[in-house]
Amino acid sequence: MSAQKEFWIVNANIVTEQGIVTNGSIQVIGSTIAAIHENGAAAPQGEVIDAQGSWVLPGFIDVHVHGGYGADFMDASKESLDTITRFHSSMGTTSIVATSMTAPREALDDVVESIAAYRSNPMPYAQVVGLHLEGPFLNPSKIGAQNPDYVVLPQIDWIQTWYDKYPGLIKTIALAPEREGALAMIEWCRDHGIVTAAAHTEATYADMQAAAKHGLSHSVHMYNAMKPLHHREPGTVGSILTMDEVSAEIIADGVHVHPTCIKLLAAMKTQENLLLITDAMSAAGLDDGLYQLGGQDVLVKGGVARLKDGETLAGSTLTMIRGFQFLVEEVGLSVEQVSKLASGNPAKLLGLSDTIGSIAAGKHADLLLVTPSFELERVYVQGRQIQ
Residues identified as active-site: 279
- 59 annotated to a ligand binding site: no
- 314 annotated to a ligand binding site: yes
Q: Which residue from 329, 333, 292 is spatially nearest to 314, judged by alpha carbons?
A: 292
- 232 annotated to a ligand binding site: yes
- 17 annotated to a ligand binding site: no
Q: How far apart are CA 41 and CA 140, in angstroms?
A: 59
Q: How far apart are CA 195 and CA 215, in angstroms?
A: 8
- 256 annotated to a ligand binding site: yes
- 88 annotated to a ligand binding site: no
- 41 annotated to a ligand binding site: no
Q: Are strands 19-29 and 6-16 parallel, antiparallel or unpaired?
A: antiparallel
Q: How far is CA 381 from each of CA 58, 60, 84, rounded to the nearest angstrom?
A: 10, 10, 15
Q: Which residue from 146, 124, 78 is spatially nearest to 314, judged by alpha carbons?
A: 146
- 342 annotated to a ligand binding site: no
Q: How far apart are CA 235 and CA 209, in angstroms?
A: 11
Contact by Cβ (8 Å): 246, 218: yes
- Backbone dihedral angles phi then psi of residue 333, each to the nearest 5 degrees: -80, 160
- 225 annotated to a ligand binding site: yes
- 200 annotated to a ligand binding site: yes
Contacts of 71 (CB under 8 A, 6+ apart): 79, 80, 81, 83, 84, 282
**How many residues are listed for the chain in this entry?**
387
Helix (H, G, I), strand (E, B) or coil at 219: strand
Q: How far apart are CA 80 and CA 89, in angstroms?
A: 14
Q: How far is CA 177 from each of CA 136, 139, 187, 270, rounded to the nearest angstrom?
A: 12, 9, 11, 25
- 224 annotated to a ligand binding site: yes
Helices 235-242 and 205-214, axial angle in degrees (round to 10): 50
Task: Give the DSSP H or E segment for 266.
Answer: helix 259-269
Which residues belong to the annotated binding site for Zn(2+)? 134, 200, 221
**Which residue positions form the known binding site?**
134, 145, 200, 221, 224-225, 232, 256, 313-315
Residues annotated in a binding site for substrate? 145, 224-225, 232, 256, 313-315
